[in-house]
Amino acid sequence: MLASLVFIVVTAACAAATGMGPRADAPDVPPLATVYKSCKNKGDVALTFDDGPYDYLEDISKALVAAGGHGTFFFNGNNFRCIYNMADKVKYAHAHGHMIGSHTYAHKDLTTLTSDQIHNEMWLVEQALQRIIGVTPAFMRPPYGLYNDLVRQVSDVRNQSLVIWDFDSGDSTGSSVANSEALYAAVASKHPNNVLAVNHETSETTAYQVLPYAIPKLKAAGYKLVTVAECLGLPAYQHVGTPGTPDPNTWKC
């Protein structure tokens, strides 16, 4: 009794002395995952590609690698394609030095889901990536870029940071090729300027028209094409292990 009284007095005194409210890491206030919206290093461009794995992955990879750079793919589990049917593309991207992040399973608006449902949307992609390439992602891009405190709490429990963007090529919102190219030209002319760009792996015009224009333009301006992890100076994965043994009966969407 006496001990707990003393504890309360000391705590109150500390709070008064620092002028702070409850600590953010107190047990009843769940911590929130960090949200990254831009690169840290000036002169870096992190080109990211959402909604795959999809058919244009190799072409996007070749354009990046030919320019001496790498990009980041935020994969869904079951969106345009089922990730298990695209396992070769996932392996290809990983083997060619690109970073793999999670875009969650079925591209749902996570802000409409319960905690359990968010966990499930995240876990299903972690499981797929562990099985296919043996990694657990450290970064998650919420579908539509939408998140709330619950999404951040669940992400923190799952040891993943959120990645949004500060540059949108407009390829999922009806931007013309000319318009996307103009946006890239404008950002290239602002070098050095830390850029975290969102594109969509499922956009044919991004793969075959915008990137062949934008990548040389960014390079010529002096930008370095790096992964999200590189542009933040953090590890890309929580764990790197051995891929799982294929079992066609369980590896399904």
Would you tell me which residues interact with ligand NAG (CB under 6 A)? 138, 159, 235, 238
Of residues 89 and 131, the one with the C-beta less far from ligand NAG: 131
- Sign of the Cα pseudo-torsion (148, 54, 58, 95, in order): positive
The 3-state secondary structure of 26-88 reads CCCCCCCCCEECCCCCCCEEEEEEECCCCCCHHHHHHHHHHCCCCCEEEECCECCCEHHHHHH
What SS3 class is residue 148?
coil
> Smallest distance, Å, CB 238 to ligand NAG?
4
What SS3 class is residue 238?
strand
> Smallest distance, Å, CB 125 to ligand NAG?
16
Q: What is the dihedral of CA 54, 201, 138, 232, to 10 degrees?
A: 160
> Smallest distance, Å, CB 239 to ligand NAG?
6
Is 50 considered catalytic here?
Answer: yes
Burial class (CB in 10 A: 0-12, 13-18, 19+), 172: middle
Of residues 33 and 188, the one with the C-beta less far from ligand NAG: 33
Alpha helix (H) residue ranges in the chain? 2-18, 57-66, 87-95, 115-133, 149-157, 177-188, 204-205, 211-220, 228-232
Q: CB within 8 A of 226, min separation 6: which ones? A: 39, 41, 44, 45, 46, 69, 70
The active-site residue out of 44, 50, 51, 171 is: 50
> Smallest distance, Å, CB 135 to ligand NAG?
11
Of residues 87 and 122, the one with the C-beta less far from ligand NAG: 122
Of residues 74 and 223, the one with the C-beta less far from ligand NAG: 74
Is 25 considered catalytic here?
Answer: no
Interhelix angle 115-133/87-95, rounded to 10 degrees, is 70
> Smallest distance, Å, CB 60 to ligand NAG?
25
Q: Which residues are catalytic?
A: 50, 200
